[in-house]
Amino acid sequence: MIVGTAGHIDHGKTTLTRALTGVDTDRLKEEKARGISIELGYAYAPLEGGDILGVIDVPGHEKFIRTMAAGVTGIDAALLVIAADDGIMPQTLEHLAILRLLGVQRGAVALTKIDRADSSRLEQLEGEINALLSSTDFAGAQIFRTNATIEGDIGVKALLRHLAQIAATLPANDERRLFRLGVDRVFTLSGQGTIVTGTALAGSVRVGDILQMAPGGQEARVRSIHAQNRSADVGRAGQRLALNLGGVSKDEIARGTWVVAPALSACSERVDVQLTLTPDCGLTLKPWSPVHVHLGAAHHTANVVMLDDEVLTPGRTGRVQLVLDAPVHAVPGDRFVIRNAQATATIGGGVVLDPFGPARKRRSAVRVAWLDALADYIGSGDIGALLARGPLGLRVSTLVRLSQLPAEQIAAPPGTVEVGLQGGDQLLIAAAEVEALQARILAALEAFHARAPDDAGPELWRLKRIVSPEMEDRLWSRLIDTLLASGAIKQRGRSLHLPAHSVELSAAEQAQVAPLLASLLAGAFDPPWVRELAREHGMQETEVRRLLLKLSKTGELSQVVKDLFYHPQRLDELARLVATLPEVQAASFRDATGLGRKRAIQVLEFFDRVGYTRRIGNIHLIRPNAAWAYSGA
């Protein structure tokens, strides 16, 4: 069990820790000289029943609230320390507020320095403490009168027995989840290398495991483990761990870095959260209000973007996006604390909903539904609740980051559709969402036909841009294949259309276009322009243009640029040629086709436009799962 102390400066937290564990946690020369804690201190002691008590001794001075918040993240219980002579003081209240905001619900109160107060003062103070805690999760917490300067103090012994009782009632940690540890201290030891310490919040770690820094992404191998101050082969959630890491230097890690399983290493600068302001904070948050954020052991500045109302007033709860000064690691359900812009007062805190908030459409209906689903998931752990509100499905890698479960332990509800993706990832989507997407495709085609009745229909990737540009390409291909197989939609050339829709040429027009098609086919990769076709076949330019445009609308030709049409067989050959090139640039495509540079660029831009390729810099990449459909019939 991990216990964190809390309380005002000079109320005896370090002395009490030494009395409980026998360890002096003030290790810095400055701490010894000034008689106050500046850094986190750690101490351990065996408990009845075989458990190991870990105590994190936090500074009480207001200047070190950042350090205090880092220390109490992930603790099992709090030990609120109040001196009998001073009583309840400002940092008593602020530390208590931080404990509540971080979701700490178990604890006890140590009344220290009882030799400096008479019995009536002690009774009065106990009444004040009970009143203070009455509206919190610590209501009814036992109060222990202690004099930690006396060896064998009966109050200290009673407190230690009580902590052992709390340890015996703690629920078992879920070790199925992937490993996470927030670093609160990093140092080097001669002959051993880099050491990080922190409380393991999830999962387990073994000697030899490969972990990653988040943020940063550096990989490190676990050389050795100390768990609860004892050498161990395995470290588990809920324990204080010291990890000896190979492959990463001390300078690459700071307090607030997370050491995590590689699947959890993704970070973001935008985090969507549910935030509660304390009733007495005296501050109304407005769009882009600056705040200080304490998340895990990390400290960042951030600006607030409202997701519900336009402002958030004292005592109220609302959803906001924290736009941070640097990427952070978080998972749904993580607790955090915020302080004002001057970092002089704790003003609120809350829970992370989505650790990967979007930069756009933050308040859309789809986004609100997704945040609702995440809030439900935090309470229930039901993956199905997330899939039910994921209209475009969810990658398994995303579900791993949200749930902290290994991919093989993510159980999708019955009826979930699975789509394999490049790189070995997989997309999961609820059957109801598949039906909804298919209905959207049919509706989009119906609207397209109403808007352009003389057009055979959009090409495959143009239709995707109309329906859902952000959809995974392989999901899109699967939906279209299913609709084609069922006959719900039809394909003519490269055009998709509803079965009832057709654009036909008359018999006379068919006779006119036959020689034009033959000339375009014979023109290979450099077909004749409209004016050249008109001259060759003794026709008016306007008539040739009308016929070829009509033919392009049926999907039997493609217009690359104005007045330049390609036969589908030749475009198919060019598309296949693109797929053979190691790097598709205008120069390499020009050389492979024998075309001039200008024409090569025109064709490549056409492939970009219809969704076969996409341009990144000067390179044209074939889109994942994109295929050039041409039957030759």
Range with the poorest average pLDDT among 43-57, 187-201, 531-545, 605-619: 43-57
Q: Are 106 and 78 in contact (CB under 8 A)?
A: yes
- The pLDDT assigned to 453 comes to 84
Confidence of residue 174 (pLDDT cuts 50, 70, 90): low
- The pLDDT assigned to 33 comes to 42
Q: Where are the domains of the chain?
A: 2-169, 180-264, 268-366, 504-562, 567-632
- The pLDDT assigned to 25 comes to 66
Average pLDDT of 576-600?
Answer: 94
- Please tell me what DSSP assigns to residue 239: S
Total Cβ atoms within 10 A of residue 128: 13
Residue in the block written with tokens 């922190």: 198
Domain covering 180-264 assigned CATH 2.40.50.840 in the classification: no
Total Cβ atoms within 10 A of residue 343: 16
Amino acid at residue number 204:
S
> Counting Cβ atoms within 10 Å, is residue 540 exposed (0-12), middle (13-18) or buried (19+)?
exposed
Q: Nearest 5°: CA angle at 61, between 86 and 156?
A: 55
- The pLDDT assigned to 62 comes to 53
Confidence of residue 633 (pLDDT cuts 50, 70, 90): very low
- The pLDDT assigned to 29 comes to 43
- Strands (E) across 331-416 are located at 335-339, 346-354, 394-395
pLDDT by residue (tens digit) across 18-59? 899 888 765 434 433 434 343 567 788 888 767 788 888 776
Average pLDDT of 168-195?
Answer: 86
Confidence of residue 481 (pLDDT cuts 50, 70, 90): very high
Looking at the predicted structure, is the pLDDT value of residue 434 above 70?
yes
- The pLDDT assigned to 71 comes to 59
pLDDT by residue (tens digit) across 341-398? 998 888 999 999 999 999 999 999 989 999 999 999 998 888 888 998 889 999 999 9
CA atoms of 467 and 356, how far apart (whole Å)? 24
* Domains 504-562 and 567-632 belong to one CATH topology: yes
CA atoms of 468 and 476, how far apart (whole Å)? 9
Top pLDDT among 447 and 69 is at 447
Name the average pLDDT for the chain.
89
- Please tell me what DSSP assigns to residue 148: T
Q: What's phi and psi for 71, nearest 5 deg?
A: -70, -35
Q: Nearest 5°: CA angle at 105, between 102 and 108?
A: 115
What number does CATH give the domain 567-632? 1.10.10.10
Give percent above pLDDT 70 in the chain: 94
- Please tell me what DSSP assigns to residue 237: T
Looking at the predicted structure, is the pLDDT value of residue 69 above 60?
yes
Q: What's CA 53's distance to the chain center, in Å?
A: 33
Looking at the predicted structure, is the pLDDT value of residue 146 above 60?
yes
- The pLDDT assigned to 36 comes to 38
The two three-digit tokens of residue 292, written as one number: 């200080």
What number does CATH give the domain 268-366? 2.40.30.10
Class of domain 504-562: mainly alpha
Q: Are 582 and 551 in contact (CB under 8 A)?
A: no
- Please tell me what DSSP assigns to residue 412: P
Q: Are 161 and 48 in contact (CB under 8 A)?
A: yes
Query: Which residue, among 238, 293, 253, 331, has the nearest Cα to 65 in the 3D structure?
Result: 293
What number does CATH give the domain 2-169? 3.40.50.300
